[in-house]
Amino acid sequence: MRLCIRASRWLVVVTLLGCTGMLSAPDATVSVSDGDVPRVDADAPARDARAPTPSDAALDDAATGDADTGDAGRPGGLTCADRASHPEWLLCEDFEGGAGDFDAWRAGTPFHELSGDEDRGRMNIVSDGAHAGAHALHMPASAASGYRGASLSWLQCAGDYERGCSLGGHDELFLRAWVRFGEEHRFVHHFLSIRGRYTADSPYDDSLSGYWFNGTAGCLPDGTTHMSATLEVDRRSESPRHHTGYFYSYHPDMPRTRCGGGNARFPEICRDCNRWEAIRLAPSCDDSDHGCYWGETFEVGDAELAADPDRFTFSKGEWTCLEMRVRLNTPGVADGEMEYWIDDAPAFAVRDMRWRTVDTVALNRVELQHYINGSNWFGTPEQSNEVWFDDVVISTRRVGCR
């Protein structure tokens, strides 16, 4: 049984109604420029409800004050000026490099891959309303750019970074970002993501480095190849779900469902899942039921959400401190975790995840993204869904907001 947790700063609520896991829209496991992703049929079956229990991390933060919340949600707090005191920080980006010149910033950013950076209507450095310092990253998703979003990716190579490297990695990673959604923000397909790929020690790396491997949407991770956990923003317009956070994850225990579009794309999906020399993933093109594997959704239960919706909701028009954590499981044991905080307050966590079956899968890719491909997804009107980012940290330990 997988366990789900939701906790306020001062109170941990334990209930049997809690977390639901259900099939969601397909995951774009590559960059935001990869084009259309297939839809899931509307009648995809729901997963069973899971009983929540307090998470150790949530309890520790509430009890010991490891993350000081004195100025949570306000300008200020930990910034890249503090990096010298934090050797556990793997990346810190405050968007001050280049002094507001986009090309100069792009040449020096610690992020390794950018998508949408060729278009200022998708990605830009701005000087108005930064969280701290003088500049922030703006993803306008403008009409002139087809309402499309953008992304920044960081990878952990086994040695120094170079394109195409064999990957190293970690068993646990944190991503902390200050985020400001536009007042009219309604929709983003994919948001903050921590992912894992096989490392340099994997036998797969002999034929294809983990850098180049992409677990295609619709394919089932087999525990030896990849996984992903993405903190998403609920696109449903009705309250109280609107703009709440939930997890969308690729893992070996995902259920099979339809391929979308009346299964018309099954031949394409199954070929993609088996296009590598050494790796074969489900579904096979020999499968008779033509099922596919989309990411699984984990969200807070209705009762808990109704009792305290602010605890899970991302505000609009103001800076919010968001942090997510992923811990891989011990191979052979379902003890993996994922959780997120809003302004240092523990919000929602899922435990007992089985992300991998071997220790040659590690966390080694982090994506700061506002994935929108411009299509009218799930009846969401096409519009400019703006977002700003500032003071982003990737760390092997909890960062906090100050």
Q: What's the confidence (pLDDT) of residue 57?
A: 41
Triad 87, 88, 94: Cα angle to 5°: 80
Q: What's the confidence (pLDDT) of residue 3?
A: 63
Q: What's the confidence (pLDDT) of residue 1?
A: 58
Listed as ranges, residues in the chain with pLDDT below 50 are 6-75
Q: What's the confidence (pLDDT) of residue 342?
A: 96
Triad 334, 338, 343: Cα angle to 5°: 160
Q: What's the confidence (pLDDT) of residue 62?
A: 34
Interacting residues of 124 by C-beta distance below 8 A, sequence separation 6+? 102, 137, 138, 139, 140
pTM reported for the whole predicted model: 0.83
Domains of the chain: 3-395 (2.60.120.200)
Q: Residue 225 corresponds to which tokens in the numbers above?
A: 């190849």
Q: What's the confidence (pLDDT) of residue 234?
A: 84
Q: What's the confidence (pLDDT) of residue 365?
A: 98
CA–CA separation, 127 and 134 (whole Å)? 6
Q: What's the confidence (pLDDT) of residue 22?
A: 41
Q: What's the confidence (pLDDT) of residue 313?
A: 86
Q: What's the confidence (pLDDT) of residue 370?
A: 85
Q: What's the confidence (pLDDT) of residue 11?
A: 39
Triad 111, 33, 244: Cα angle to 5°: 75
Q: Which amino acid is at 260?
A: G
